[in-house]
């Protein structure tokens, strides 16, 4: 491949990774770009999981063998089978050398000898491949994993120049992975409450909109628990906001624990002393049971005064749920009723008969002021 084509291949790889929206898309773009750039038939990207002592395959692309999934769940190899990732590479970097790629063939090492090749040679033979080039991926100055590109048996083996080019590709992949990490961190911060580590209001809004759309299209059950932590203002006023923050953190942990009773439930802090659980595709009774446990555990928290908890579910007789806003109004109205009546159990919208006061309150036209506080100061 000429210099112009190689430069174009590097640009295409970098652009492919930059266009990725998720880590999986980034891994796939890296492997596909490297496979094309090196005229390979197969490529894989693997990460070194130091704490588990293994090299785990993230993605396989190209002509995959029957035992190779595109995004494998459990394809991993003990690092001792590929000691170059820990010994050869580490020693080279520690000694000031560069993380250079090397070539191996079904007959043994061809170029850039790392000193270890037995397991890879066996794998090449088993899968009908004639050669491979392995490029280390270095991220933040440490061995992150490796990029692997192979050609089938009968094709010309990779040369020293290919190994040098693979080294460059490994560096481009590392830069793309670093960008993906930054984007993922930005997304995490955008959808996470900084104090409790739970999801935030933005995350709930997005997930609830999607859930209600699924409910309307497929009839999937959607349940929302809205709760208000009692006594936070008293704690802040008498003991200080640092103690109040600890109370919020502790309640957030309790909410997370109770939310785990409902598979897939999203635990979130809406802001201030307001929290919620969002469950999709789970029975309403299971959600109510989790909310009841939440009330019990919140009542046992030191300094707090329990929690007012309201539940709204599309499985209950609450009428048609056309949008996320109505389900939120119902859960909020149920929570307000629980607070006004000083109940230590959740109030469930729709369970008080055909003239349910919660449903009636939620469906009244809201005042013009901010919707999240529209029920405050009114009779239950």
| Span 32-52, pLDDT tens digits | 999 999 999 999 999 988 778
Residue 183 backbone dihedrals phi, psi, to 5 degrees: -65, -40
How high is the pLDDT of residue 380? 38
CA 34, CA 20: separation in Å to the nearest integer?
15
How high is the pLDDT of residue 40? 95
How high is the pLDDT of residue 185? 80
For the stretch 297-302, contacts whose Cβ atoms lie closer than 8 Å and that sit 24 or more positions apart, written own/partner, are 297/254, 297/257, 297/258, 298/227, 298/229, 298/251, 298/254, 299/344, 301/247, 301/250, 301/251, 301/254
CA 192, CA 158: separation in Å to the nearest integer?
46
Closest CA to 92 of 111, 115, 73, 75: 115
**Tokens, residue 238:** 């008498």
How high is the pLDDT of residue 363? 84
Per-domain residue ranges of the chain:
3-191, 201-376
Instruction: For 8-18, give one letter per residue: b (16+ CB within 10 A) or e.
Output: ebbeebbebbe
Pairing of the two strands 108-111 and 76-78? unpaired
What is the DSSP secondary structure assignment for residue 261, as one 8-state letter?
Answer: T
Is there a contact between 296 and 264 (Cβ–Cβ < 8 Å)? no
Pairing of the two strands 307-313 and 347-348? parallel
Low-confidence residues of the chain: pLDDT under 50: 94, 115-116, 369, 372-380
Residue 225 backbone dihedrals phi, psi, to 5 degrees: -110, 125
Put the strands of the sheet holding 108-111 in their side by side order.
76-78, 54-62, 42-49, 142-152, 129-139, 102-105, 108-111
CA 85, CA 78: separation in Å to the nearest integer?
11
Q: What angle do CA 219, 223, 227 make, to 5 degrees?
A: 165
Please name every residue paired with 54 in a beta bridge, in sequence order, or none if there are none: 49, 78
Is there a contact between 266 and 226 (Cβ–Cβ < 8 Å)? no
Fold (CATH) for 3-191: Beta-Lactamase (3.30.450)
The class level of CATH for 201-376 reads alpha beta
Owner of token pair 């891994």: 27
How high is the pLDDT of residue 375? 42
Q: Which helix (H) or strand (E) holds 185?
A: helix 160-190
How high is the pLDDT of residue 312? 96
Closest CA to 72 of 132, 27, 38, 125: 27
**Tokens, residue 188:** 């995490």
Owner of token pair 């929570």: 335
Please name every residue paired with 138 in a beta bridge, in sequence order, or none if there are none: 143
Do 3-191 and 201-376 agree at the fold level? no
């Amino acid at each position: 491949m000429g210099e112009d084509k190689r430069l174009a291949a590097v640009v295409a790889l970098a652009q492919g990774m930059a266009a990725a929206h998720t880590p999986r898309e980034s891994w796939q773009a890296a492997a596909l770009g490297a496979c094309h750039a090196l005229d390979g038939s197969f490529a894989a990207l693997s990460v070194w999981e130091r704490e588990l002592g293994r090299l785990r395959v993230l993605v396989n692309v190209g002509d995959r063998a029957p035992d190779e999934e595109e995004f494998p769940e459990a394809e991993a190899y003990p690092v001792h089978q590929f000691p170059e990732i820990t010994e050869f590479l580490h020693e080279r970097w520690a000694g000031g050398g560069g993380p250079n790629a090397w070539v191996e063939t079904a007959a043994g090492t061809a170029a850039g000898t790392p000193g270890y090749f037995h397991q890879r040679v066996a794998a090449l033979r088993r899968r009908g491949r004639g050669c491979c080039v392995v490029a280390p991926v270095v991220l933040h100055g440490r061995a992150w994993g490796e990029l692997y590109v192979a050609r089938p048996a009968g094709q010309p083996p990779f040369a020293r120049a290919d190994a040098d080019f693979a080294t460059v590709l490994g560096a481009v992949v590392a830069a793309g992975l670093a960008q993906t990490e930054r984007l993922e961190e930005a997304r995490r911060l955008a959808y996470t409450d900084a104090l409790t580590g739970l999801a935030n209001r933005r995350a709930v809004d997005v997930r609830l909109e999607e859930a209600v759309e699924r409910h309307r299209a497929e009839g999937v059950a959607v349940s929302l628990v809205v709760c208000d932590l009692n006594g936070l203002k008293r704690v802040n006023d008498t003991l200080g906001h640092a103690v109040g923050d600890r109370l919020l953190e502790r309640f957030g942990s309790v909410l997370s624990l109770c939310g785990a009773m409902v598979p897939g439930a999203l635990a979130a802090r809406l802001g201030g002393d307001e929290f919620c659980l969002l469950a999709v595709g789970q029975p309403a009774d299971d959600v109510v049971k989790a909310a009841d446990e939440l009330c019990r555990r919140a009542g046992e928290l030191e300094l707090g005064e329990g929690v007012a908890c309201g539940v709204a579910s599309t499985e209950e007789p609450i009428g048609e749920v056309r949008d996320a806003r109505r389900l939120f109004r119902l859960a909020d109205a149920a929570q307000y009723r629980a607070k006004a009546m000083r109940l230590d159990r959740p109030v469930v919208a729709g369970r008080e008969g055909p003239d349910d006061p919660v449903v009636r309150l939620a469906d009244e036209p809201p005042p013009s002021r901010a919707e999240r506080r529209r029920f405050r100061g009114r009779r239950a």
